[in-house]
Structures are given as structure tokens and as C-alpha cells.
Amino acid sequence: MNEINHRIKELRLKHNLTMAKMAAMIGVSPGNISDWENGKKNRPLLLEH
């Protein structure tokens, strides 16, 4: 897991968000959150800043 993948999961858990809740907040599917956290899919550049 690279730094950004780890950070996405860390922030989600810190704020007690499920993947579904976080996904709804940023307008993506829960599957995208899972893929990002597990390094299976690249994140939008917006999430890297």
C-alpha cells in the first residue's frame, strides 16, 4: 500500500466513515474507495493534493 492509499483509509477510519458514506460524500461508488485503499485503481488527482 502506498502513502496515498494508506492515507485515504486512515482518514476514513479516523472520521468513523464507512466506505459507502465516504463514497457518497465525494460522489463515487464504494467500490472505488475499496479499490483506492487496496491500490487496485488510481485515485483522481484531486485526492492527491
Classify residue 48: in a domain, yes or no.
no
- 4 near 47, Cβ under 8 Å? yes
> What confidence tens digit (pLDDT) does each residue in 29-44 have?
999 999 999 988 776 6
Q: What pLDDT is recorded for position 14? A: 98
Longest dimension (CA), the chain: 24
| List of residues 6+ apart from 14 with CB closer than 8 A | none
Classify residue 47: in a domain, yes or no.
no
Q: Which domain holds residue 14?
A: 3-42
- 5 near 38, Cβ under 8 Å? yes
Residue 33: closest CA among 22, 48, 46: 22
CATH code for the domain in which residue 34 is found: 1.10.260.40
Classify residue 49: in a domain, yes or no.
no
Domains of the chain: total:
1
The pTM (predicted TM-score) of the whole model is 0.78
